[in-house]
Structure 1
Amino acid sequence: MVSGFGQQALISIMSHLVFIALAWWALQALRFETLLRANHVFQARVLYVLLSIVIGSAVSNFFLDYLLWSQQLPLILQNITFL
């Protein structure tokens, strides 16, 4: 049982990191420079990081929830057969 929690934690960490990196990569396609003031490079980089974390975490949570729900679907069928 405890090893299951360890595996779930590892999957969650890896999922978050992958989707944050994917969000970072996708945000590079946008041209935020036109929206930002000149000479605010550090603030622009912080904005990229924060947006990447927000978008990547949201997508990762969706993915992990979907994975959990798909694993719980067989339990519905088991409960219906006992009714």
Structure 2
Amino acid sequence: MTSELGVEGFIHIILNLLCLGIAWWALQAFRFDLFVKNPKSTQAALLKVLAAIALGHLLARFFIDYFGAVRFLPYLF
């Protein structure tokens, strides 16, 4: 039981990091210079990092919830 929780935690960490990377990559196509005063500033870079973390977390949470729901489908029938 404990090892299963450890593996599940490890999968969650890897999935979160993977989704963070995907969100960062996707945000590279977004033109932040249209929405911030100084796009080269530290604040603009921090905004991009925070947006990537937020989007990555939402994406990872979606997949974690989806796979959690799929695990319960055999109990439907």
Equivalent position SS for 2:72: helix
Partner of residue 46, structure 2: 46
Partner of residue 35, structure 2: 35
- Runs of 4+ off more than 4 Å: none
Aligned pair 1:4/2:16, yes or no?
Answer: no
- Note the C-alpha offset of 1:40: 5.5
CA distance in 2, matches of 1:29, 1:23: 10
CA 1:18/1:9 → structure 2, altered by over 3 Å: closer, same or farther? same
- How many correspondences in the alignment? 77
Partner of residue 74, structure 1: 74
Q: TM-score, normalised by structure 2?
A: 0.92
- Note the C-alpha offset of 1:38: 2.5
Matched letter for residue 25 of structure 1: W
Larger radius of gyration: 1
- Note the C-alpha offset of 1:39: 6.8
Could you tell me which runs of 5 or more consecutive residues in structure 2 were left unpaired when the two chains were aligned.
none
Q: Which moved more, 1:32-41 or 1:60-69?
A: 32-41
Q: TM-score, normalised by structure 1?
A: 0.86
Counting aligned pairs with the same residue, the percent is 36
- Note the C-alpha offset of 1:59: 0.8
Root-mean-square deviation (CA, aligned residues, Å) is: 1.3
Could you tell me which runs of 5 or more consecutive residues in structure 1 were left unpaired when the two chains were aligned.
78-83
